Amino acid sequence: MAMTVRPRRSVLYMPGSNARALEKGRSLPADGLILDLEDAVAPDAKAPARDTIREAIAAGGYGGRELIVRTNGLSSPWGYDDLRMAATSGADAVLLPKVESPDGVRQAEAVLRAAGAPETLRIWCMMETPLGVLNAREIAGASPALGGLVLGTSDLAKDLHAAHTRDRLPMITSLGLCLLAARVYGLAVLDGVHLDLNDDEGFAFSCRQGRELGFDGKTLIHPKTIAACNDAFAPSADEIAQARRIIEAHGEAAAQGKGVVLVDGKLVENLHVENARRLVALGEAIAALDSAGR
């Protein structure tokens, strides 16, 4: 059975006020781009940044990259105008900051729909406050328009009074709760940013850890980190080859009326086949993106 998986290994933030960054986004190998109106944009630059983002998306050239507009909160002076712009911008998704309740999602959704947002526009939520994380399950189930959760580990660390440690132990509970909520509702889920651009080793560790925990990918702040992130979140050639062996061996076993089989000495059941199919589909989707130049 064919399975569709959208690669979201690397999703790069860029300030909506930075036209050069938006231009560069058209040629970077990121799976997605977050065109930011919130924290990366100074108050005086918010209104012009809205125009810059709208014009950039309208001009096109982003290929298969997923385009996500991060708006300001509705309690800020810019939130409503941001949502109205994003509604008809042609973006794939709107990313709401600091979401703390399902009502926050529904309120934003009502503004988007009233502004003419198409049914295809997804709503993504930043999970970056203690209350938001505790309400992750309700937020993830707030609307069928939900597309994904993004961890805001910088804001979260601040609110938790937590340290940024290499092993990210202080974050683990929050990461786990958001992952659980996303998987319950079939949403995408992206890990937070690694702030130290000179710490290649720490970055590689956090990518590996994020993938092992179950994240689909990681949010990034600089283009130089995209390639390593893509590698870390893509299934390796060995993993794909093993997944194919699992699918084939289980298919042969099923044809003989057996429910289980050993592959490379390990027990394989239906659940392993499901995961193997996901890995193969992800590998194929990545190959298709790469061959299209995105």
Ligand X SMILES: CC(C)(COP(=O)(O)OP(=O)(O)OC[C@H]1O[C@@H](n2cnc3c(N)ncnc32)[C@H](O)[C@@H]1OP(=O)(O)O)[C@@H](O)C(=O)NCCC(=O)NCCSC(=O)C[C@H](O)C(=O)O
Residues in the site for ligand X, rule: CB under 6 A?
Answer: 12-15, 20-21, 24-25, 36, 39-40, 126, 128, 152-155, 192-193, 221-223
Instruction: Name residues whose C-beta falls within 8 Å of residue 145's C-beta, 6 or more positions apart in sequence.
Output: 109, 121, 122, 123
Of these partners, Mg ion, ligand X, none, which one is at the site of residue 180 (CB under 5 to 8 Å by kind)? none
35 versus 279: smaller Cβ distance to ligand X:
35
- Asked if residue 225 lies in contact with residue 205, where contact means CB atoms within 8 angstroms, the answer is no
Judged by beta carbon distances under 5 to 8 A according to partner kind, the member of ligand X, Mg ion, none in contact with residue 221 is ligand X
Comparing CB distances to Mg ion, the nearer of 148 and 235 is 148
142 binds, among ligand X, Mg ion, none (CB under 5 to 8 A by kind): none
User: Which amino acids are annotated as binding site, given as ranges?
Assistant: 70, 128, 155
Least distance from Mg ion to the Cβ atom of residue 195, Å: 11
Q: 14: which DSSP letter?
A: E
**Identity of the residue, 132 or 235, whose beta carbon is nearer to ligand X in the bound complex:** 132
Two structure tokens written together for 58: 């309208």
Tell me which residues touch Mg ion (CB under 5 A).
Answer: 128, 152, 155
Annotated binding site for Mg(2+): 128, 155
Q: Alpha carbon of 240 to those of 33, 275, 277, 283: distances in Å?
A: 27, 11, 9, 7
Evaluate whether 31 touches 217 at the Cβ level (below 8 Å). Answer: yes
> Are 261 and 268 within 8 A, CB to CB?
yes
Nearer to Mg ion, 92 or 128 (CB): 128
Least distance (Å) from ligand X to the CB of residue 273?
Answer: 36
The H or E element containing residue 16 is none
